[in-house]
Structure 1
Amino acid sequence: MKRMFAGALVVAALGTLGCGGAKASGQGAEVGTARQSLEDLRAGLRAADQAMSDAAEKAGSAQAFSDFVADDAVLLVDGTYAPKGKEAIRAWLAAHPLEAEGKVRWAPVRWDVSADGTLGYSVGNVSVESGGTSVRPSSRYITAWKRQPDGQWRVAVAVLNAAKTAMTAPAGFAPSSTLPAPEPRALAPAQALEEAKAADRAFSSMSTSEGMGKAFAAYAAEDVVMPLGSAGIFGHDAIAKAYAPFTLEAIDLRWEPVLGDAAGSGDLAYTVGRAIATGKDEKGQPEVDHVKYLTVWRRQADGQWRYVTDGGNSSPGPQGP
């Protein structure tokens, strides 16, 4: 959730939720050659995600991230401010290897790209194989990808959080969007990013004025995927049900975007920022958590920006991410 693990109240309530039953619907935005081009771009992103996993299995997570992240990449991990830059990420993973208990590999349950093929994202499961036979889930991830001038996909931002179970998409839930696309347009990525940031700020404003639960339902895309609960949360209806208990009286969650990027096609963007969750502990006393987050946004057919995935983890203080 925004912001994943933002306070014990949120964790406890969402930790037992299932995946829900919503599924993507609607027709693809493109046909013929253009449709095939979009599918090729999606396949390329999926291949990059797989190649990074293969590299981690063979050479370890520190080397794999070093090979696949952008020079200015950001890694969101629990309990610390985000390592920023290729070398900082490599150093963190060298000290905290994902393969500490065995060979590591991962696979997405959802991935997609912008209309111009410059930006993409993937959401999935990380597993560890120990003893050559036992494979178990170890974490879940969200990755924002940026396609480089040479055509290679590189990780711009990644979120990693521990998990004991794997996300499992419900029957009929497509791995990439099948919803109608917005009208084509071309604009500067900075302009598209400002639109997404404005949506993120409005999202936060609704959370503080009407409650986190209402805000998360209002700003969720129909085919949203959240790496929460026992098997993940898939679809708008499942999000609305999962977040309904988080009223304004239960928790105050507010945030601000700090950085991000967007596609020049103006249909996909991501924001990275910091959040403050104020709730109550088991004794009813105020409890404050600082959180950092990644939200991936897709512009809908009606022109509105809605989040398609979102996650984060705790920070030691308010200076995040």
Structure 2
Amino acid sequence: MKRMFAGALVVAALGTLGCGGAKASGPGAEAGTGTARQSVEDLRAGLRAADQAMSDAAEKSGSAQAFADFVADDAVLLVDGVYAQKGKEAIRAWLAAHPLEAEGKVRWTPVRWDVSADGTLGYSVGNASVESGGTSVRPSGRYITAWKRQPDGQWRVAVAVRNDSKTAMTPPAGFTPSSTEPAAEPRALPPAQVLEEAKAADRAFSAQSTSEGMGKAFTAYAAQDAVMPLGAGGIFGHDAVAKAYAPFTLDKIDLRWDPVLGDAAGSGDLAYTVGRAIATGKDEKGQPEVDHVKYLTVWRRQADGQWRYVTDGGNSSPGPQGP
């Protein structure tokens, strides 16, 4: 749903679900860098390298310093149980007090990464692990990161979602991490206009969840190659999303949300939205239960012109404000 491991309304059920295959192929267009042009494949490789460099920095110097070195000045960090940490200094301070490496050295590895056709926006989804005592390495979390390419060509973190997990995402056989379904043909539009398209899709997504149920909405709006950092081993592909979310009918849970901020590529094919959600259901005793959530959704415009999410996740908030 609009969170990865927050609360009990949905996570208890998703935690036992498996994963399915994902079809993949990708474009070979070129994107500008300001002074040169690079292929999308080169830009994907650059994004993958930035994700790895940030992980190396965290392993060496700790998560607070790594995030400070790699996030944009106006970056947003979504962590469980608190409102979003906004801005480089707020993120550094929070991680200094709540380090990701509290039990050892932390590192992470993406299972999916991709970039927009113009090379200005990207995202990565993956696993985090902790090494304790120099010998034991265990899964510690999962993440989604939205990246923004700066005028100097460097990738910087725009938004990151971090959540605990005792198991790692395990891609199915045939999964290709750096390729996705073909997107719509690139356009040349103001990023703000593209973002409004993505926000409109996000609101329509929520409207379907409210009227027809969360399960139908998450199935309808999933890209064919969607990757969700949920379940025992992750959820890979549209069919796996449909299977995972089918139990969540309108009579069991009412999930609604609204995008608050985001960004988009001027090529009109990739965007992300960040917002707040409210999940209303019943606890184990049948009593009403409300969960406030903050979320990140990454959107890709499909070949048919429709916006569909390629990944989505978040975590609990202490109240309705925010994210």
Identity %: 91
Q: Which moved more, 1:4-13 or 1:37-46?
A: 4-13
How many Å separate the matches in 2 of 1:62 and 1:240?
37
Q: Which moved more, 1:226-235 or 1:17-26?
A: 17-26
Post-superposition Cα deviations, 1:261-315, rounded to whole Å, max 9, x if no partner, equal 0000000000000000000011111100000000000000000000000000000
CA contact (8 A) 1:270 1:294 kept: yes
Q: 1:270 aligns with which of 269, 272, 296?
A: 272
How many Å separate the matches in 2 of 1:295 and 1:176?
18
CA contact (8 A) 2:28 2:39 kept: no
CA contact (8 A) 2:29 2:117 kept: no
How many Å separate the matches in 2 of 1:180 and 1:73?
29
How many Å separate the matches in 2 of 1:100 and 1:7?
23
Query: For residues 90 and 36 of structure 1, do their structure 2 counterparts lie closer, same or farther at Cα, with a shift above 3 Å needed?
Result: closer
Query: For residues 219 and 21 of structure 1, do their structure 2 counterparts lie closer, same or farther at Cα, with a shift above 3 Å needed?
Result: same
Query: For residues 28 and 218 of structure 1, do their structure 2 counterparts lie closer, same or farther at Cα, with a shift above 3 Å needed?
Result: farther
CA contact (8 A) 1:28 1:181 kept: no
SS in 2 for 1:217: helix
How many Å separate the matches in 1 of 2:318 and 2:296?
17
CA contact (8 A) 1:7 1:279 kept: no
How many Å separate the matches in 2 of 1:190 and 1:183?
18
Query: For residues 35 and 243 of structure 1, do their structure 2 counterparts lie closer, same or farther at Cα, with a shift above 3 Å needed?
Result: farther
SS in 2 for 1:48: helix
Query: For residues 48 and 276 of structure 1, do their structure 2 counterparts lie closer, same or farther at Cα, with a shift above 3 Å needed?
Result: same
Give the C-alpha shift of residue 32 in structure 1: 21
Post-superposition Cα deviations, 1:123-165, rounded to whole Å, max 9, x if no partner, equal 0000000111100000000000000000000000000000001
1:1-321 equivalence runs, <5 A: 1-5=1-5, 7-24=7-24, 37-321=39-323
Q: Over aligned residue pairs, what C-alpha RMSD do you find?
A: 2.3
CA contact (8 A) 1:137 1:164 kept: yes
Give the C-alpha shift of residue 14 in structure 1: 0.1
Post-superposition Cα deviations, 1:50-99, rounded to whole Å, max 9, x if no partner, equal 00000001100000000000000000000000110000000000000111
Query: For residues 11 and 89 of structure 1, do their structure 2 counterparts lie closer, same or farther at Cα, with a shift above 3 Å needed?
Result: same
Query: For residues 199 and 50 of structure 1, do their structure 2 counterparts lie closer, same or farther at Cα, with a shift above 3 Å needed?
Result: same
How many Å separate the matches in 2 of 1:226 and 1:181?
19
Structure 2 stretches lacking a partner, 5+ long? none
How many Å separate the matches in 2 of 1:164 and 1:223?
24
Give the C-alpha shift of residue 18 in structure 1: 1.4
Give the C-alpha shift of residue 24 in structure 1: 2.6
How many Å separate the matches in 1 of 2:97 and 2:213?
39
How many Å separate the matches in 2 of 1:138 and 1:23?
28
Paired residue total: 321
How many Å separate the matches in 2 of 1:72 and 1:32?
22
How many Å separate the matches in 2 of 1:53 and 1:174?
21
How many Å separate the matches in 1 of 2:254 and 2:229?
21
How many Å separate the matches in 1 of 2:24 and 2:254?
30
Query: For residues 15 and 35 of structure 1, do their structure 2 counterparts lie closer, same or farther at Cα, with a shift above 3 Å needed?
Result: farther
Query: For residues 28 and 180 of structure 1, do their structure 2 counterparts lie closer, same or farther at Cα, with a shift above 3 Å needed?
Result: farther
Query: For residues 84 and 32 of structure 1, do their structure 2 counterparts lie closer, same or farther at Cα, with a shift above 3 Å needed?
Result: closer
Structure 1 stretches lacking a partner, 5+ long? none
- Give the TM-score of the pair, scaled to structure 2: 0.96
CA contact (8 A) 1:6 1:290 kept: no
Give the C-alpha shift of residue 36 in structure 1: 7.1
Query: For residues 237 and 29 of structure 1, do their structure 2 counterparts lie closer, same or farther at Cα, with a shift above 3 Å needed?
Result: farther
CA contact (8 A) 1:121 1:144 kept: yes
CA contact (8 A) 1:7 1:288 kept: no
CA contact (8 A) 1:28 1:180 kept: no
- Give the TM-score of the pair, scaled to structure 1: 0.96
Give the C-alpha shift of residue 7 in structure 1: 4.0
Give the C-alpha shift of residue 29 in structure 1: 6.8
Give the C-alpha shift of residue 28 in structure 1: 6.1
Give the C-alpha shift of residue 27 in structure 1: 7.2
Give the C-alpha shift of residue 4 in structure 1: 2.6
How many Å separate the matches in 2 of 1:66 and 1:38?
27
How many Å separate the matches in 2 of 1:178 and 1:204?
24
SS in 1 for 2:137: strand
Query: For residues 5 and 105 of structure 1, do their structure 2 counterparts lie closer, same or farther at Cα, with a shift above 3 Å needed?
Result: closer
CA contact (8 A) 1:26 1:180 kept: yes
SS in 2 for 1:174: coil
Give the C-alpha shift of residue 173 in structure 1: 1.2
Q: Which moved more, 1:142-151 or 1:31-40?
A: 31-40
Give the C-alpha shift of residue 179 in structure 1: 2.0
How many Å separate the matches in 1 of 2:35 and 2:149?
21
